Amino acid sequence: MKRTILLGTCATLVAIAGLQMAQAQAKSINEGVFTAEQATRGAALYKEQCAACHGEDMKGNDIMPGLAGDGFMMNWQGRALGELFDKIGMTMPALDPGSLKPEQAADLVAHILNGSKYPAGDTALASTSEALQQIKIDPPKR
Ligand code: HEC
């Protein structure tokens, strides 16, 4: 009898844990998915490796696309953060693609989100494409 109760409790706990995981899987970039430290590291790296083309203010110019603001976010809305991570990791900086470490690409994603006024949170952005496929690029909550 005791055993049955124990098993029942275990099953409930597993179910709750499963639910929490399911929730964690469908996150939005409005939920504080990067840390402020990450964005700061990303900003320093951006200055070194990206600003020459995309502009100090991330606004781009006639030739280079901007990486902040409504235009940029419009392009990426509804897609997964993993795609942006892959785009940066695989194709940027344009003259030396593939040179960034995964952690650096994640820091740059954090800097880009910060630049578009998305909130920072307590958990750092993961540095794998798979993990970031679970986070959706939503319009900012204003
Ligand atoms: C030599 C110039 C150059 C440098 C340096 C450079 N980029 Fe780019 N980037 C481009 C060009 C040109 C495009 C547009 C073509 C493309 O999407 O590949 C682009 C596109 C992008 C896009 C997609 C933009 C969109 O609207 O979809 C992102 C994101 C990006 N770059 C991030 C970065 C980051 C982060 C760095 C620094 C590690 C970087 N770039 C460095 C030239 C550059």
Q: What is the pLDDT of residues 94-111, one digit of tens each?
A: 999 999 999 999 999 999
CA of 93 to the centre of ligand 1 (A): 6
Q: Is ligand 1 within 6 A of the CB of residue 106? A: no
pLDDT in tens, 27-72: 999 999 999 999 999 999 999 999 999 999 999 999 999 999 778 8
Task: Provide CB contacts within 8 A for 59, sequence distance 6+.
Answer: 66, 68, 69
The residue among 18 and 40 whose pLDDT is bigger is 40
Percent of the chain scoring above 70 in pLDDT: 82
Closest CA to 65 of 90, 84, 38: 84
CA–CA distance, 53 with 44 (Å, rounded to integer): 15
pLDDT over 80 at 5, yes or no: no
The three-point CA angle 111-26-58 to 5° equals 20
CA 104 / ligand 1 centre spacing (Å): 15
| Spatial distance between the Cα atoms of 34 and 38, rounded to a whole number of angstroms | 7
Contact 69, 116 (CB under 8 A): yes
Q: Which two tokens stand for residue 74?
A: 């419009």
Q: Which amino acid is at 16?
A: I
Only one residue has tokens 């009898």, namely 1
pLDDT in tens, 61-72: 999 999 997 788
Distance CA 3, CA 6 (A): 5
pLDDT at 18 over 80: no
